[in-house]
């Protein structure tokens, strides 16, 4: 949900999460994103940051797998819902990710479906890249502009849809491992009925801050 300027609308998201809570459910799947499981599953645990965490499905999974997690979102309703499902080990922070600053660095930063216009999106990612520990990993997943033609669920405003090139341009100084379009089952319940699943098109970025260079004698 976006404002007239194209950015996210906190009140609209509060309403959406409140409706989900009143119905006894979740806005999204309770399962973490598969790419998060794949990427984080290959890393040593440490400090993780989930930016625009929503109702906490990814932050919760990370905490249950040994990460110390900070999770940030501007929807109070989303964080209330997240707390009701989460284990210990998550520090839930109510803040706008476009302005928030952490007090520490992280070994893993996750940004999933933060659909901002190009300029604020690249600004958020550039700042996030600076919050990584040496050797730390940044994972970004967002709705790609090609998702419009695919017809899968997601924002219909092209201003807030992304491309691999846009995400790559935001993280100068990191070593980009992956910057590509990623196709996934776009149904809310991939295990449910239906012979013709909607194929959603996401943008996927995985990048690493280079380790600190050894000191020269």
**Average pLDDT for residues 168-189, to the nearest whole number?**
87
Longest distance between any two alpha carbons in the chain, whole Å: 65
| pLDDT at site 150 | 81
Q: What is the pLDDT of residues 106-150, one digit of tens each?
A: 999 999 999 999 999 999 999 999 999 999 999 999 999 999 988
Closest by CA to 77, choosing from 17, 33, 125, 19, is: 17
Decide if 132 contacts 138 (C-beta within 8 A): yes
Segment (H or E) for 178: strand 175-185
User: Six-digit token pair at 93?
Assistant: 């922070």
CA distance 35 to 140: 10
pLDDT band at 196 (very low <50, low <70, confident <90, very high): very low
CA distance 149 to 170: 25
Secondary-structure breakdown of the chain: helix, strand, coil percentages, each rounded to the nearest 5: 30, 30, 40
CA distance 170 to 180: 14
Torsion (CA) 201, 156, 186, 30 in degrees, nearest 10: 120
Q: What is the pLDDT of residues 207-216, one digit of tens each?
A: 999 997 544 4
What domains does the chain contain, in order, with CATH numbers? 31-187+196-208 (3.40.50.150)
**Least confident range of 6-10, 76-80, 141-145, 187-191:** 187-191
User: Six-digit token pair at 209?
Assistant: 């801050």
Between 27 and 72, where is the model more confident?
A: 72
pLDDT band at 8 (very low <50, low <70, confident <90, very high): low
CA distance 134 to 132: 6
| pLDDT at site 99 | 95
């Amino acid at each position: 949900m976006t404002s007239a300027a194209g950015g996210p609308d906190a009140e609209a998201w509060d309403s959406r999460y409140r409706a989900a809570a009143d119905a006894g459910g979740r806005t999204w799947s309770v399962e973490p994103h598969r790419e998060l499981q794949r990427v984080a599953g290959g890393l040593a645990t440490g400090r993780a940051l989930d930016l625009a965490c929503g109702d906490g499905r990814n932050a919760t999974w990370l905490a249950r797998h040994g990460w110390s997690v900070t999770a940030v979102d501007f929807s109070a309703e989303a964080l209330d819902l997240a707390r009701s499902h989460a284990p210990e080990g998550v520090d839930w922070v109510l803040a706008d990710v476009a302005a928030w600053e952490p007090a520490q660095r992280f070994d893993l930063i996750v940004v999933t479906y933060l659909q901002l216009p190009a300029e604020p999106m690249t600004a958020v990612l550039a700042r996030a890249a600076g919050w990584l520990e040496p050797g730390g990993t940044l994972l970004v997943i967002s709705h790609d502009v090609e998702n419009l033609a695919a017809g899968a669920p997601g924002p219909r405003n092209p201003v807030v849809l992304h491309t691999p090139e846009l995400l790559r341009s935001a993280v100068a100084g990191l070593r980009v491992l992956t910057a590509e379009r990623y196709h996934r089952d776009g149904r809310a319940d991939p295990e449910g009925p239906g012979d013709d699943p909607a194929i959603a098109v996401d943008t996927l970025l995985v990048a690493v801050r280079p380790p600190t260079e050894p000191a020269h004698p």
